[in-house]
Amino acid sequence: MKQKFVLTALFVALFVLSFVFSCKKNADPDPVIANDTPAALTPDTILTPLYFPPPIIPDDNKPSKELVQLGRQLYYDPILSNNGRSCASCHVQSLGFTVPGLYNNDMPVLPHVNLAWYNNFMWDGSKQGTLEDIMMFEVKDFFATDLAKVNQSMTYKLLFKKYYGVNTITYKELAYALAQFIRTLVSANTKYDLSLKGLYKRSPDEQRGLEIFFTEKGDCFHCHVNPVTTDNLLHNTGLDSIFSKESDKGYYLISGLPSDLGKFRTPNLRNVALRNRFMHDGRFSSLEEVIDFYDHGMHKVNNLDPVMSLPAKNNGLQLNAIEKKQLIAFLKTFTDSTFISSPKYANPY
Amino acid sequence: MLICLTIAFAGCRKKEVPPATVVSGKITVNIDYVAGNRPLILDTVTFTNKTGNIYSVTTLHYYLSGFRFYKNNELQHYCSKIAYVDARIPGTSHFELTELSGMKVGTYDSVSFYIGIEPALNTTNSLPASLENIGMGWPDAMGGGYHFLKLEGHWNDGGTVSGYAMHLGTNNYQVKAGVACKVVVDKVANGQLNMTMNINEWYTNPYDYNFSTDGLFSMGVATLMQKLTENGADVFRGK
């Protein structure tokens, strides 16, 4: 009888204890949400300008409306950094998702535009792969995002749980969500795009500028390929003959090969007329200066890109003042007023 | 009885069996590269053309299209494949011809093709856009269509290193190339077409091309593109 009483008491005690523990669990301010199945996502599409190749989209991060919005929230949220800055601090929509001047007094900020068609990133091409790869670098190394801080945000905690099915947010989910939004930053409504569709007639100056751009007269098109305006490759365009600064050495710093000295990524020309610093170190502050350089300022170095051999050999392009203005008039047709004002890219906060 | 047998045999002889045709499969094209008698190694200024220019190759991008298979100089089969090749990406120098419907089983002794895009198809944006060939457009302002060839590199210009860029495009400068070869095609078409491109051949036969006196940049220069077009006819050799 006594033994039976002891067993019953033990059972009751265990029962009570289990309640106590379960109550403790419920009181946890960081609850583990039981349902691990991510919410159904609404498929989205990436706007593709006329004659562009298909965008690069990894199979494991197909665009969805919900994740694009999540990425947009993160893009404008200083929670990712430890200094109060967000992606948007250096990538301002009204300026074509870049900023004037130099980052760290060192280099112009490359614009976030049409990155869905990039497979290498940074001026020196040091990061290759998909947008997801570069965003992984941004959160892990550039921002050194404090994951504990992000995981303390109930908003993000719930959103990442809902859409990615994770209880703990990692760099991967942050990178993937950012990539979702940045992949949607597509410029497709410039005068140049409209002219391809027959919806805009160029002025005579713009037309003549196009002919300079797309012929050997200016020979811009071999690197700024049509219609993406970047060939995704690295070139030495004769900026320097002496590489006094480490940052002037370009892809050489990555590969260690002398043939890569001074090689930099071809920048995208979308909204180029909105910028005020050009080249990897921002040495030029106007399009006029850039054109003057390609006209007669190139250094004939050993690893000068072969396609630059024409202007280098024949004493430059020999454009006259009117032709330079016409070329700039054409470059201005790459300005996309829709892109820089679209509410869907704007700060959601 | 004898008459019957004779008639029967004669009937058998008369009844010709049509040659078998390919049912399925592919012909694999394999391309490798030499400069003279040495294997091509990109980015090294060590190769010498007939005029004595010492050069490297940094870029070799080109299209092949309009494959035609011959037997005893008679056209047997046409294949509409358009292949883009970047010598820096090994996989692109090995591709498959799968447009083999109706191709007869047998042995073919030569193949012709364009280095470039077949004239009827060489119009701006006629090919599906891709990131791989993103730089191959030939501007409308210069005639439109596609670059057929981009052969670029550096050369030893009297002690200093300079660049050169041999580009071909527009239908006036289609390179009609071909190779003598032995391509055996069976019913499931497991044939192989093995070829070697000799870079030096771009610079000779019939015209000896000298960077120093001819020019470094062919695009838009009719005389240079003409020389390259004619020289290009035999840059490939079958294996």
Q: Which residue in B121, B108, B227 sits closest to B175, CA to CA?
A: B227
Long-range contacts of A285-288 (CB under 8 A, 24+ apart): A287/A328, A287/A331, A288/A324, A288/A328
Write out chain A residues lying below 8 Å of B59, CB-based: 306
* Domains, chain A: 61-186 (1.10.760.10), 191-334 (1.10.760.10)
DSSP string, A191-213: HHHHHHTT-----HHHHHHHHHH
Q: Tell whether A303 is within 8 A of chain B (Cβ).
A: yes
Write out chain B residues lying below 8 Å of A300, CB-based: 160, 162
Q: Tell whether A307 is within 8 A of chain B (Cβ).
A: yes
Q: What 3-state class would DSSP assign to A74?
A: helix
Tell me the pLDDT of chain B (239 aa) as tens digits: 455 545 554 555 555 666 788 777 899 999 999 999 999 999 999 999 999 999 999 999 999 999 999 999 999 999 999 999 999 998 999 999 999 888 999 999 999 999 999 999 999 999 999 998 999 999 999 999 999 999 999 999 988 899 999 999 999 999 999 999 999 998 876 889 999 999 999 999 999 999 999 999 999 999 999 999 999 999 999 98
pLDDT score of A214 more than 90: yes
pLDDT at A41: 94
Q: Do A56 and B131 touch (CB under 8 A)?
A: yes
pLDDT-derived band at A24 (thresholds 50, 70, 90) equals: very low
- Of residues B128, B142, B165, nearest to A306 (C-beta): B165
pTM, two decimals, is 0.88
Q: How does pLDDT run across A262-279, given as a tens digit for each residue?
A: 999 999 999 999 999 999
Write out chain B residues lying below 8 Å of A313, CB-based: 162, 216-217
Interface test with B, best of A48, A57, A222, A224 (most B CBs within 10 A): A222
The pair of three-digit structure tokens given for residue B30, joined into one six-digit string:
């394999």
pLDDT at B21: 84
Q: Tell whether B131 is within 8 A of chain A (Cβ).
A: yes
Count of C-beta atoms within a 10 Å radius of residue B219: 23
Q: How does pLDDT run across A71-128, given as a tens digit for each residue?
A: 999 999 999 999 999 999 999 999 999 999 999 888 999 999 999 999 999 999 999 9
Burial class of residue A315, CB neighbours in 10 A (0-12, 13-18, 19+): exposed
Q: Do B153 and A306 touch (CB under 8 A)?
A: yes
Q: Which residue in B21, B36, B12, B220 sits closest to B104, CA to CA?
A: B21
Q: How many angstroms separate the CA atoms of A85 and B101, rounded?
A: 61
Instruction: Find, in chain B, the residue whose alpha carbon is nearest to that of A302.
Output: B161
Cβ atoms of residues B141 and B170 within 8 Å: no
pLDDT at A16: 45
Instruction: Find, in chain A, the residue whose alpha carbon is nearest to that of B43.
Output: A259
Instruction: Find, in chain A, the residue whose alpha carbon is nearest to that of B139.
Output: A214
Q: Tell whether B238 is within 8 A of chain A (Cβ).
A: no
pLDDT at A25: 39
- Of residues B128, B142, B152, nearest to A307 (C-beta): B152
This complex has an ipTM of 0.89
Do β-strands B175-185 and B38-39 pair in parallel, antiparallel, or remain unpaired? unpaired
Paired residues of B179 in beta bridges: B111
Interface test with A, best of B131, B160, B161 (most A CBs within 10 A): B131
Instruction: Find, in chain B, the residue whose alpha carbon is nearest to that of A308.
Output: B163
pLDDT score of A27 more than 50: no
Q: Do B134 and A232 touch (CB under 8 A)?
A: yes
Q: How many CB pairs under 8 A join A and B?
A: 79
- Of residues B130, B134, B163, nearest to A231 (C-beta): B134
Q: Tell whether B236 is within 8 A of chain A (Cβ).
A: no
